Chain A
């Protein structure tokens, strides 16, 4: 992790090259020279250089936010490119930080880009936030959401929030002095497993673009001190219906983070708070597993095996091993289609859903059921390398 030594510049004077670059800002009264100097003096920390972080950092950099920090420890992979537009095909395998910093420097060489190759943790968050004025949350999981929120409340920095799922997004500005925080809106996270993640649920590629640009807009308004920021308002974006709705948020006087009797006075263990203990076990104990090599060998030998595919029909279209398709959600009402006297091997994409299916079938009295370990991804890796992976 980089050490923080710089301090905020007292004044940010623009040179002639910068004046030309920002001329479309300078000629509008809402920004002007004063506003552009505020942008140059501002220090914004983006948490994550992924779907939301890409448009966020690109626009903040182009707009002339002087100091742009990025926290990330991931590398670019092919499945990122559908939405993480700061990275290109040639960047696959590179650190997201290196890829993002290179693009930002190319767009605007006047930026001071500060990269932090680390996970954001309870141990480093407050120290990282100290050298920035505004925090933009582009993360993808509940523990980090609550960590960012609490660290923003404790350090008195606004939390410019955006979140996405499939084709629906949320945006707001939390943790300003007068406004509510994320915990005022959601005091507790959902238990693990009850809400699907992006990796399970998918996301429309443009959606982080829409929501990340809303976040960038809010960051810039906060720096300029102009307009009406999304403080005390939750913006809901429905890309499919192309509807924007707005809900009123109130500061909860009983909020443990920002209320009148605060109980959160330091950062806590957010994985524990979100009910995540260590590595999440994808499959519960007591679920019999079968390896893909064994399935292949037994199918080739002509054994009487019934392959049950519990994915969704649109996933079946991407690739399949000829299994009988019953999506996990339909299994309870379609269980009568299965013959409990036959040996059943259930599979999904990676083995999580089919583990649940096997657990359900066991409870329903099926004795000869197996979960295909690693799902169709393992099949593609170890049995049929020509199969498409997703």
Chain B
């Protein structure tokens, strides 16, 4: 089973779990397996056109899958997948006009 790290902002759509284990052959398999378990995650991970969203990065171990074979990247049971969305929090009240 490959372990998928769910980032804090998305845990509310994944049964509040921090990690989820999925049996998968590729990154794409792992993500579809994850979405079939937790359908609410779909719109956060994919656009309406079915493309992985640009502000969500997927890592296989410490490598960005955009620089591997993207969703076709092969995964092993010992691998860890991380979903890393952009977060902006910090100081309160600072916005630009």
Contacts and interface: CB of A to CB of B under 8 A. Distances in A.
A253 B48 CA distance: 27
Given A147-B96, A329-B12, A52 B7 contact: no
Contacts of B55: 186, 188-190, 195
Given A140-B94, A141-B95, A186-B55, A248 B87 contact: no
Contacts of B63: 247-248
B35 to A, nearest CB: 16
Contact of B96 (A50, A80, A190, A270): A270
Interface string B60-97: 00111001000000000000001011111111111111
Contacts of B97: 119, 121, 271
Given A189-B55, A245-B82, A143 B89 contact: no
Interface stretch (A13-21, A126-134, A197-205): A197-205
Contact of A51 (B9, B53, B85, B91): B91
A165 B8 contact: yes
Q: Contact size class for A?
A: 35 or more
Given A120-B96, A201-B9, A186 B54 contact: yes
B8 A143 contact: no
Given A195-B9, A248-B64, A143 B96 contact: yes
B92 A163 contact: no
> Which among A140, A208, A250 has the greatest number of chain B C-beta atoms within 10 A?
A140
Contacts of A138: 90-91
Interface in A197-224: 197-199, 201, 203, 208
Given A74-B94, A139-B94, A247 B86 contact: no
Given A168-B8, A248-B62, A84 B44 contact: no
Interface string A156-173: 000000111111101000
Interface string B1-25: 0000001110011000010000000
B90 A139 contact: yes
Chain B interface main SS type:
loop
B92 A249 contact: no
A47 B86 CA distance: 18
Interface in B15-41: 18, 40
B18 to A, nearest CB: 7
B9 A119 contact: no
Contact of B84 (A139, A142, A194, A236): A236
Contact of B89 (A119, A201, A247, A250): A201
A119 to B, nearest CB: 5
Contact of A246 (B12, B40, B62): B62
A79 interface: yes
Given A168-B8, A271-B97, A329-B12, A80 B90 contact: no
A167 B9 CA distance: 10
B90 A196 contact: no
A48 B94 CA distance: 7
Interface residues of B, number: 33
A355 interface: no
A163 B96 contact: no
Contacts of B62: 245-248
Contacts of B82: 236, 245, 247
A353 to B, nearest CB: 12
A365 to B, nearest CB: 22
Interface in A32-59: 47-53
A164 B90 contact: yes
B89 A163 contact: yes
Contact of A247 (B59, B91, B92, B94): B59
Interface in A74-105: 74, 79-80, 84
A12 B64 CA distance: 42
Interface of B: 7-9, 12-13, 18, 40, 43-44, 53-55, 57, 59, 62-64, 67, 82, 84-97
Interface of A: 47-53, 72-74, 79-80, 84, 119-122, 137-145, 147, 162-168, 170, 185-190, 194-199, 201, 203, 208, 234, 236, 241, 245-250, 270-271, 329
Given A141-B96, A247-B62, 5 more contacts: A47-B94, A48-B90, A119-B96, A141-B88, A164-B90
Which are the 3 A-B pairs with shortest beta-carbon distances?
Answer: A50-B91, A48-B91, A188-B54
11 contacts: A48-B91, A50-B92, A52-B91, A84-B92, A138-B91, A140-B88, A141-B95, A163-B87, A185-B86, A186-B55, A248-B63
